[in-house]
Amino acid sequence: MIYLLKSKFNTRFFICLGFVFLFTLINFISLKNYYDEMFSHFILENDHFEDNLRKENSNTNKSDENNDLTVQESDEPKNLKLNSLSALLMDGENNRVLYEVNGYQEMPMASTTKIMTCIIALEQGNLDDVVTVSSYAARMPDVQLTIRAGEQYYLRDLMYSLMLESHNDVAVAIAEHVGGNVEGFATMMNDKARALECNNTNFVTPNGLDAEGHYTTARDLAIISSYAIQNKDFIAITNTSSHQFKELKNGRSFSVSNKNKFLYMMDGAIGIKTGFTSKAGYCFVGAVKRLDRTLISVVLGCGWPPSKSLKWTDTKRLMTYGIDNYEKKQIFEKIELDPVYVDKGQTSHIGLALEGDLNLLLRKDEKVIIKYSIPNILLAPLEEGKEVGSAKYYIDDCLYADIPIYTTDECKKIDYKFCFMRILKLWGLQY
């Protein structure tokens, strides 16, 4: 008897369950149509959202151009009178080029090479290491500390010799100690250049003596220098006025003094490195750090003997140009983005947001244009924080930054469980 009751109960249960399942299948399409019809008006309105946003932004830019027309004409800076074959001024905080003359042209760079030599040694070596001088290093020509084969020095002391007086024999001794040999060290230098996206630079020597295939550009050298001055040990060495040290085995004494006169020419000057070869001419990389800005200047091929002072003149003109013509401004525009319709989503819309900080040096006549790329419809499923669009910032038609637009919520895709629960709510008159 009990068995028969259980059998009837199971039969009725499965029949009811089958009716519910069948009803769910029948109403699935109807429910989807219901959702599509409910939100179709939003899709029509949202269809031109991106175009309208761009149009509105364009009108704003045109309005600004009309308002600032006289400012542009009066404040546009004139071309600088420079002696260098290649020159460049860079914002050291974001590596944006502020001014350049042949700044992307491959050039020999003489002892400004030692900027990379120094930063590689600081990052890959130990300042307390003992460096043993090879006969090859001792034979290096031109500017020398006159180190001798077999002598030993602390790497720390040799770094001052390298950067303050630009000794070529010391550069090779450092390279051999850190890289095993000059070729190995050059590989390390080039790897670092690629990591910094300096793709028009190739190092062959650690001291910058003229060599086939040894070159850089003013732009690449500025980026390398911008990176180097972030290292506190680099700044401590290059800004030292003088340094005394001894050879470790026989006690020979040395004193080196800083040959960078630019350190005393402008307020906030922090370096960086001079250079000269017969092929490269006079070269100099300078840096100025003030409360609201860091500027990097590069001059290459800035005269030949006896025009030794032209590199200082060009550097001061570049730095003065950057100080007088640029102001720190926040160009990021915080806007509220409308929600976007989600096709096949368990929620009809999803929120969008963008965040950024674009605080940079801007010239008065430079115009900032923002172009938004925002979808009209998204397809479920969507995760929170998914990148679905972008805001591109252009300065005088040059792309400066590409900021992602992302979702603020998640949205799951409609499935049978979701439909079933909605049908139950419909039966319960909960819509």
Domain count, the chain: 2
* Same structural domain, 98 and 223: yes
The Cα 167–Cα 423 span in angstroms is: 84
Q: What is the pLDDT of residues 90-125, one digit of tens each?
A: 999 999 999 999 999 999 999 999 999 999 999 999
Percentage of the chain modeled with pLDDT above 90: 68
* Same structural domain, 111 and 222: yes
Residues pairing with 216 in the sheet: 107
Residue that finishes a domain, picked among 268, 301, 326: 326
Q: What is the pLDDT of residues 180-199, one digit of tens each?
A: 999 999 999 999 999 999 99
pLDDT at 380: 81
pLDDT at 29: 54
Is 213 inside any structural domain? Answer: yes
pLDDT at 67: 36
**Band of the pLDDT at 6, cuts 50, 70, 90?**
very low
Residues pairing with 297 in the sheet: 89, 286
Helix (H) or strand (E) holding 100: strand 96-101
Is 420 inside any structural domain? Answer: yes
Question: Is 162 or 74 the better-scoring residue by pLDDT?
Answer: 162
Residue that finishes a domain, picked among 326, 358, 388: 326
Lowest mean pLDDT among 250-259, 311-320, 404-413: 404-413
Q: List Cα–Cα distances, 130 to 32, 125, 127, 135, in angstroms.
A: 76, 10, 8, 16
Residue 218, classed as helix, strand or coil, is helix
* Same structural domain, 245 and 101: yes
pLDDT at 44: 40
**For the residues 130-157, what does the mean pLDDT come to?**
96
* Same structural domain, 423 and 321: no
* Same structural domain, 175 and 144: yes
Strands 281-290 and 269-277: antiparallel
pLDDT at 361: 97
The Cα 17–Cα 27 span in angstroms is: 15
Lowest mean pLDDT among 71-75, 150-154, 247-251, 376-380: 71-75
Cβ-count burial of 296 within 10 angstroms (0-12 exposed, 13-18 middle, 19+ buried)?
buried
Domain that holds residue 380: 331-431
Q: Please, what is the average pLDDT of the chain? A: 86
Is 35 inside any structural domain? Answer: no
Is 209 inside any structural domain? Answer: yes
* Same structural domain, 138 and 283: yes
* Same structural domain, 318 and 375: no
The phi, psi pair for 246, rounded to 5°, reads -130, 150
Enumerate residues 6+ apart whose C-beta is below 8 A from 357. 330, 332
Q: What is the pLDDT of residues 9-53, one digit of tens each?
A: 456 656 665 665 665 555 555 555 555 544 444 444 444 444 544
Is 46 inside any structural domain? Answer: no
**Tokens 């800076």 belong to residue:** 77
Q: Is the pLDDT of residue 422 over 60?
A: yes
Question: CB–CB of 389/375 below 8 Å?
Answer: yes
* Same structural domain, 375 and 261: no
The Cα 187–Cα 254 span in angstroms is: 31
Is 139 inside any structural domain? Answer: yes
Residue that finishes a domain, picked among 273, 300, 326: 326
Is 425 inside any structural domain? Answer: yes
* Same structural domain, 235 and 319: yes
Q: Is the pLDDT of residue 65 over 70?
A: no
Question: Is 137 or 383 the better-scoring residue by pLDDT?
Answer: 137
Enumerate residues 6+ apart whose C-beta is below 8 A from 239. 258, 263, 270, 271
CATH number reported for the structural domain that contains residue 348 in this entry:
2.60.410
Helix (H) or strand (E) holding 311: helix 310-325
**For the residues 349-362, what does the mean pLDDT come to?**
92
**For the residues 334-355, what does the mean pLDDT come to?**
87
Closest by Cα among 58, 44, 49, 59 to 352 = 49
pLDDT at 40: 45
pLDDT at 378: 87
Q: List Cα–Cα distances, 5 to 1, 9, 10, 16, 277, in angstroms.
A: 6, 6, 9, 17, 105
Closest by Cα among 288, 369, 359, 365 to 328 = 359
The pTM for the full model equals 0.79
Closest by Cα among 122, 238, 233, 140 to 182 = 140
* Same structural domain, 340 and 307: no
**Band of the pLDDT at 385, cuts 50, 70, 90?**
confident
DSSP string covering 59-87: HHHHHHHHHTHHHHHHHPPPPP----SEE
Is 52 inside any structural domain? Answer: no
* Same structural domain, 188 and 154: yes
CATH number reported for the structural domain that contains residue 292 in this entry:
3.40.710.10
* Same structural domain, 310 and 367: no
Question: Is 78 or 207 the better-scoring residue by pLDDT?
Answer: 207
Residue 194, classed as helix, strand or coil, is helix
